[in-house]
Structure 1
């Protein structure tokens, strides 16, 4: 079995854990055609009843940004909402193959239009995924992504790095991920037992204190759907995470890895928070994109996630910058502004959106992860049992 086939098998068996007769929807770019075909084949081999691919294409997206108004780019489409509801009602498994085929696709475009989102559709999709569907987001190698990392379109070299990060080099990658998932779940249970009320990140250029809502719940590794079926929302995943109180974040962060948002490279990013809100953004490159994104809606300038990752991460050990958030966020501690996770508070899945907001969770049409960890990062947690070190110099010590 080749790398692409091992990749597809992992996504289908451990990612969404396709069940006999289940429908599968795959969101992918035309740049990932060969990989998408392998995933479709693997899904049918696993017993899928039907598989539908939803295609996107970078140049077509650029055409929309160049020639369509903000009003059109943000307008809710009733047919799209109905489709999401039908997928959720049918218990469809959702696979997203991501990976920028052209990280400079939106160079020179209007930043506000690049950041535009169909907010109501994004919220409906998130509700469906969190409440009723199994889902997995996986990055797919392509020449453009390889070019961004290595300076040349060496896809074979990229597959080698991706294979290491995704444990495709294991005799049974799915079993290897089950083992890693158990370790991360154990760390989440440790944090739950501390009943933390805030966490603090301190490193070079970073000193951020973030408050947590009452009865926070930490998540690590895989998840369980309403029918008791295990799955991995992200592959790879090396994090333990929760959602903070959107009203309580103060300090500064220095983003330690470049990032790509809507096809645009962001480097040297520094962000300042006060009373939970982003009040200042600076970047060596791409600041306008970030400023436009955090102005998207009421919650886009507030945090929706705090995450803990140490140097034991496979991505950290790879020693390269992947220029892909899914990978790079798992190389070090990170935070994300935008949408919170409803399961991040005790009983949160049973609460209404209004009740989650009252508890301090955030609502937004965006969710953007930024890495602030790496060598020298220290994370402490404070709660009724005092202040404890969780990570010291990028090593889990709890």
Structure 2
């Protein structure tokens, strides 16, 4: 398959199966300048799907680095009223949000002040995330291959090799990728219903340096495959997705987890990460590289040290089958079980979408401008769940056994 054909298939997938653009709908695309060709294809696909208008907001790594080098933490933290108003207008209009991610220069932010990286427009990020998580905006995030990302993985800018791996992970090698993802979504949805039926009160991850027990709020609901917005339209917020997930009780996480895949936060590589929880709160962080970035992030706001997601992924994942570490959270989180500290999902408890923020906090859902996924699964990982029927095996040695 030619490079242009792969780009067009990726764009069609994120528009059709990702945000599921409807006739007349507005679409906002966030993209690095390195992804220009892919952004153009997404705009074309969105208009073909009937979008009323498409707006592209470009970012650029060197420009962001200039901000970290010269602006103060205080100025980077300030919420801009016009930006908040624009997000509210997008939410009210039901705009679809597409994010093209993938570090074009993975070492660009080495040496940047971690406090500045963590502070950058965090309130604006939280407000936009609330609009998406609240069902007012359908969204989809997809990683865009580029030479920098290829170099990060392979040590050379072999974009063709990266596209081959991405095609496997994203099912672009099938006759109809969107239909393939819809079928996979159905399987994940069935798993979510199985978990709901167990009425689990806690899950435990253990093996290979991890032993972490996380409590679940009453009437926790699992999600797999996709979401439904406030207008009843189905969409897939992350592509690829191989997980079933829910939000835990932020007050109930105890133990230690070993992160099994490298991760990149704001262009900075994190390796060898280990994290300890007590009473729901992150109490200790160790890392071979990038520990200061994590410590700055979990101090960004009051909810950043507490979990907002627990997720289950088995070895049948297409990302796992691709056979490489993508060093991109969107992909690598779907290669194995993962958790995330920061913002919870309001739909993860019965009636959560109708609750006030105070009611969500009361049942144990977290609120934060941060949501950072970390992979703790892989060979040797086991997961059990405990509920009214006792303890059951869910994953044994990275294989789904429920």
TM-score (ref. length: structure 2): 0.98
Gaps of 5+ in 1: none
The CA distance in 2 between the partners of 1:362 and 1:70, in whole Å, is 25
* SS of the residue 1:123 aligns to: helix
Structure 2 residue 287 is matched with structure 1 residue 290 = no
- Pair 1:204-2:200 in alignment: no
Q: Which moved more, 1:119-128 or 1:226-235?
A: 119-128
Q: Deviation at 1:226? A: 1.4
User: Which structure 2 residue ranges, 5 or more long, are not aligned?
Assistant: none
Q: Say whether residues 1:17 and 2:20 are aligned partners.
A: yes
Q: Which residue of 1 aligns with 2:358?
A: 354
**Residues in 1 aligned to 2:291 and 2:123: alpha-carbon distance in whole angstroms:** 26
Alignment partner, residue 82 of structure 2: 79
Please give the alpha-carbon distance, in whole angstroms, between the structure 2 residues aligned to 1:31 and 1:365. Answer: 26
1:246: which partner in 2?
250
TM-fit CA distance, 1:123 = 2.2
> Is the 8 Å Cα contact of residues 117 and 365 (structure 1) preserved in structure 2?
no
Instruction: Describe the SS at the equivalent of 1:8.
Output: helix
**3-state DSSP class of the match of 2:309?**
strand
- Residues 19 and 48, structure 1, Cα contact 8 Å, conserved in 2: yes
Deviation at 1:279, TM superposition (A): 0.7
Query: Which residue of structure 1 aligns with residue 126 of structure 2?
Result: 123
Does residue 1:103 correspond to 2:106, yes or no? Answer: yes
2:334 maps to 1:330: yes
SS of 2:24 mapped into structure 1: coil
Separation in structure 1 between the aligned mates of residue 41 and residue 315 of structure 2, nearest angstrom: 32
How many residues are matched? 398
Task: State the secondary structure of the residue aligned to 2:326.
Answer: coil
Conserved? CA contact 1:381–1:387, under 8 Å:
yes
CA distance in 2, matches of 1:89, 1:110: 36
Q: Map 1:144-155; keep pairs closer than 5 Å.
A: 144-155=148-159
Counterpart CA distance in 1 for 2:329 and 2:258 is 16
**Match of residue 302 from structure 1:** 306
- Is this contact kept in 2: 1:118–1:365, CA < 8 A? no
Q: Distance in 1 between matches of 2:124 and 2:264?
A: 22
In structure 2, what is the Cα distance between the partners aligned to 1:368 and 1:379?
21
Shift of 1:111: 1.2
Other-structure match for 1:92: 95
How far is the alpha carbon of 1:122 from its aligned partner?
Answer: 1.9
Deviations, residues 353-390 of structure 1 (Å, cap 9, x unaligned): 11100110111111100000000000000011110000
**Equivalent position to 1:7, from 3, 10, 30:** 10
Equivalence for 1:33: 36
For the 8 Å contact 2:126–2:370, the answer to whether it is kept is no
| TM-score normalised to structure 1 length | 0.99
Aligned partners of 2:342 and 2:181: how far apart in 1?
28
Partner Cα separation in structure 2 for residue 283 and residue 291 of structure 1: 10
Q: Residues 313-343 of structure 1: CA distance to partner in whole angstroms, max 9, x if unpaired? A: 0001111000000000000000000110111
What is the distance in 2 between the residues matched to 1:70 and 1:127?
23
CA apart distance, 1:117: 3.5
Cα RMSD for the two superposed structures:
0.8
Q: Distance in 1 between matches of 2:123 and 2:298?
A: 17
Superposition map of 1:175-186 within 5 A: 175-186=179-190
Matched position secondary structure for 1:14:
helix
**Separation in 2, partners of 1:127, 1:364:** 10
